[in-house]
Amino acid sequence: MVGVIPPDLPIHPVLPDLLAQLSKLTNVVLVAPPGAGKTTAVPLALIDQPWCAGQRILVLSPRRLAARAAASRMAAVLGEAVGQTVGYHVRLDKNITKQTRIEVITEGMLTRRMQDDPALDGVAAIVFDEVHERNLDADLGLALALESQAALREDLRLIAMSATLDGGRFSELMGGAPIVESAGKLYPIDTFYIGRKADIALEIQAAQTALLALKQGEGDILVFLPGLADINRAQDFLASKDLDSKCLVVPLHGSLSPAEQDQALAPAPAGRRKIILSTAIAQTSLTIEGVRIVVDGGLSRRPRYDPETGLTRLESVRCSRAACDQRRGRAGRTAPGQCYRLWDEAQMGAFPAFDRPEILEADLAPLVLTLAGFGITDPGVLSWLDLPPRTAWQEAVKLLMDLEALENAPDQLPRQTAHGKRLSEFGLPPRLAHMIVKAGELGFGSTAAFVAGLLSEKGLGGNQTDISARLIGFQRDNSPRAIKARALAQNWARQIGAREPVEPEKAGRALALAYPERVAKARDRQGGFVMVNGRGGELDPREALAGADYLAIGALMGQAARARIGEAASLTKGDIEGLFGGLIETCILTQFDRPSGTLRTRQQRRFGALILDEAPCQISPQAYQAGLLDAVKAHGLSILSWTPKAIALQDRLEWLAKQDPQAWPQLTQDALMAQLDDWLAPALVGIKALSDLDVGDALEAYLGWSQLQAIGKAAPARFETPLQTNHLIDYAAEQGPTVAVRVQELFGLRTHPMLADGKVPLVFQLLSPAHRPVAVTANLPAFWTGGWQDVCKDMKARYPRHVWPQDPANAKPTARAKPRS
């Protein structure tokens, strides 16, 4: 049907080359800039080719809006209604008949079709439009199509169409496919870099710029903003201005109904202008009639998956240079235009050349489950532009095994289970499909199916955080979009045989089945919650759900430590027990109270990091003894009561070990800590508080009678004088084992006392009658005959009432002074 294609489309001159290549080859890459007409012209050019006779062509579009618009344009070229030669099939919307030859579908639809029919019988060609966007579904669809072409359908044509000059990678991936290049048709565009104002929000500056552009240029204005919230704020700002009644302000984003999107795309009524506030949805594959001015904020909202937290969050990131060029090109599709960029020209070098492929950032669980359905458990067997990251792949496998969708095969490669196969039939993310199936088994499958509809379609039922409230709104909404979404949810319910009515109060139970790790308990009454996985989530304290005891959380945004809760529903403790009874653990917690030296014990029932119940409890004597032992292991020996006897025994053994390490046991702090089970545990039997424990008795019991006797002989604890008085020996003294004793008590001692089997002399610290040091000696006989004479003179002068013999070795010991009489 080349003859019906408008000849003024820039793509027209290269169509003969494209068709010639496809007549002899199966794969071709077409590079054509925005505005070339490739989306409209190429499918129409293919359907009357001999190799396409009687078969259909699938055209993959990255967005539902673009798919419907592409089908409408092709049908208009043919002078037909959509649904005849050209139709479309997107989620919640389908317009296809038996006579349809060209089906425009969204990228995920191809994968689901191939699950039922890997050979794609009756399909002559697949056109991958806007492949440069590198959506995950497009990458997967292309990999599966190449596999099907190689194994089942040698005749299947694959055409990859890109608006950028990155066609070389696609050519290599597709077996060296020839690249056909087309010129574009772009009218002159004046570009203004007006910089970013730090003192006002981006969306407000964009709205102000649009107002300025209304006065300085002609035509409608397309404003690119990151997300829905930005669009709403810009719309509110413009509504507050006294705009001429001839200017319409309309939003354009994925949450709108098809009718509302069509209104944004339709030309403005005669004599009126439009300001279209759009997300990146209008960036490619669309020609919006009448747009001659573009205001670009330079940002887009992209999903970022964090395997460590299991969260996917939307982040505002800089657009790529390629995306900025595509946005700019919207202003020059039909006439000369203007582009206002809210950044400085010098900053362009910091913008990435292309958007990062979604496969490198997304949650890979849907991809892994889909491939498992094809029997593919190793992504390396397929052809990819970028291989799925190993860490994200392994995280996805773990999640699917937790969902019972995968199991380890004998060869240790995970394979799809019967439950996993059932999940893949829903065309939903694995978590949501699992939620529906499990809820069906528990008797609230209809509720879960409707919750899945809400979670997979933004804006249905309102924008409240509370899913239960949105579920009520969803049931009452009679818009075409809501009616189709309910029909889809009812179909899911029928798949599991659920016939009971939807119960909004059970929305929390459904959410909990999809995200069990995000079941949460209030940690305060200010909107703070802690989840099963130990992470935190925050609600605005003004939200009704902020006062709930428990929540099931469906969406989180922002930093994982204090993420903002975006979608949730209330739960009760009974709900948690009913859903996850097998995962709830009962444990006894013991806490050591250092001041009293006792244990405080409590029994807890826990679901992950959530404490469901807690109360004081009694434990067995053996458990109490073990708890005290653990406290010492945790806090060290300093929490024990070290009596002088214990310290002295430790010092004696430490000294003996230095003399002969092999002969004596080690009682150093490190050694005692390493042997707690041997010496301390028996001593704790019957002990209620560590303060009741005599460490000296415990150590003596550990050593035993015979060893204590040997220690007492080699290193006695005390020294007995000739006067039969006992004095403690200090084995920790710097000069060696030392005893402090009054010199008078040693009179008559002719031989020096020895320790360690006669190897080491005992050191005497000799004291005066007033217990003041007068001398130190380790050789008493030598002292008596030497240094004593000087000491004796000094003592006679200081203590004349005491006896100070000239020959103390032969004198009688005494502790008394001479009688006054």
Q: What is the pLDDT of residues 784-813, one digit of tens each?
A: 999 999 999 999 999 999 999 999 999 999
When pLDDT is averaged across residues 104-132 and rounded to a whole number, the result is 93
Q: Counting runs of H as helices and runs of E as strands, what totals does the chain give?
A: 27, 33
pLDDT for res 165:
64
Residues 6+ apart with CB under 8 A from 516: 532, 579, 580, 583
Residues 6+ apart with CB under 8 A from 524: none
Which residue has 């031989």 as its token pair? 751
pLDDT at 476 over 90: yes
Which residue has 């009054």 as its token pair? 742
Over residues 280-322, the pLDDT tens digits come to 887 766 678 889 999 999 998 887 766 555 556 667 889 989 8
pLDDT at 459 over 90: no
Tell me the domains of the chain and their CATH numbers. Answer: 2-181 (3.40.50.300), 189-360 (3.40.50.300), 637-714 (no CATH), 718-810 (no CATH)
Length of the chain: 821
Over residues 600-650, the pLDDT tens digits come to 989 999 999 999 999 998 888 898 999 899 999 999 998 998 989 999 999
State the pLDDT confidence band at 474, using cuts at 50, 70 and 90.
very high
What 3-state class would DSSP assign to 300?
A: strand
pLDDT for res 572:
96
- In single-letter form, the type of residue at position 624 comes to Y
Q: How many C-beta atoms surround the C-beta of residue 505 within 10 A?
A: 13
β 247-252/273-278 pair status: parallel
pLDDT for res 821:
52
State the pLDDT confidence band at 518, using cuts at 50, 70 and 90.
very high
Over residues 658-672, the pLDDT tens digits come to 888 888 888 888 889
When pLDDT is averaged across residues 171-188 and rounded to a whole number, the result is 90
Over residues 216-275, the pLDDT tens digits come to 889 999 999 998 889 989 999 998 887 777 788 999 887 777 778 888 888 888 888 999
Determine the Cα angle at 3 with ends 2 and 9, to 5°.
70
pLDDT at 433 over 90: yes
Orientation angle between helical segments 445-456 and 507-514, nearest 10 degrees: 70
pLDDT for res 229:
83
Greater model confidence, 304 or 345: 345
The model's pTM is 0.73
pLDDT for res 55:
96
Nearest Cα residue to 607 out of 567, 627, 578, 569: 578
DSSP state of 387: P
pLDDT for res 408:
81
State the pLDDT confidence band at 185, using cuts at 50, 70 and 90.
confident
State the pLDDT confidence band at 469, using cuts at 50, 70 and 90.
very high
**What proportion of the chain, given as a percentage, has pLDDT over 70?**
97
Tokens for 336? 């000369």
pLDDT for res 272:
86
Distance CA 134, CA 1 (A): 30
When pLDDT is averaged across residues 715-739 and rounded to a whole number, the result is 93
- In single-letter form, the type of residue at position 105 comes to I
pLDDT for res 18:
95
Burial of 345: CB neighbours in 10 Å, binned 0-12, 13-18, 19+: exposed
Which stretches within 614-680 are classed as H helix? 621-635, 644-659, 669-674, 676-679
When pLDDT is averaged across residues 91-98 and rounded to a whole number, the result is 90
Over residues 70-86, the pLDDT tens digits come to 999 999 999 999 999 99
pLDDT for res 820:
58
Report the mean per-residue pLDDT for the chain.
90
Over residues 557-568, the pLDDT tens digits come to 766 667 889 899
pLDDT for res 83:
94
pLDDT for res 310:
56
Over residues 625-634, the pLDDT tens digits come to 998 999 999 9
pLDDT at 552 over 70: yes
Greater model confidence, 482 or 316: 482
Which stretches within 240-278 are classed as H helix? 258-265
